[in-house]
Amino acid sequence: MQKKDTYTLQELFERLPISISKLAKESDINEVTLARIRDGERTRRDTVNKLLLALSKVYDRELTLDNVTGINVMVNQRLERRKMKQESQEPDAA
C-alpha cells in the first residue's frame, strides 16, 4: 500500500494482505468483532488500540486514530461525566 498521511479503515481492510482470521489471531480480537469494527459499529478504545497495533505491523507503518478514519470509538460515559463535573466546578478565568 502506498504511504500517505491518512488512511480509511475500509481501505485498510480491502487491501489487507492477510486473512481476517490471521488478523484476528494477530490482534487478539474475535473475527466477528473485526467485522463489526469494519462495518462501522461502536468499539471500545482498547479494542481499537489492539487493532491499530496489529494493522501497523501488517502494513509496516504507524497507524493511529490520528491517521486512520472511519473508526467509531465508543465514548466512556463515566469518564465524560467526571470530566464535565470537574469543568463545571472550575472557577471561570476572568
For residue 80, the enclosing domain spans: 7-89
Q: Which of helix, strand or coil describes residue 91?
A: coil
Count how many domains the chain has: 1
Q: CATH number, domain at 48?
A: 1.10.260
Alpha-carbon distance of 12 to 37, in angstroms, equals 12
Is 2 within the bounds of a domain?
no
Is 94 within the bounds of a domain?
no
Is 72 within the bounds of a domain?
yes
**pLDDT tens, residue order, the chain (94 aa):** 788 999 999 999 999 999 999 999 999 999 999 999 999 999 999 999 999 999 999 999 999 999 999 999 998 788 778 888 888 887 765 5
Alpha-carbon distance of 14 to 70, in angstroms, equals 13
* Bridge partners for 89 per DSSP: none
Is 24 within the bounds of a domain?
yes
Is 1 within the bounds of a domain?
no
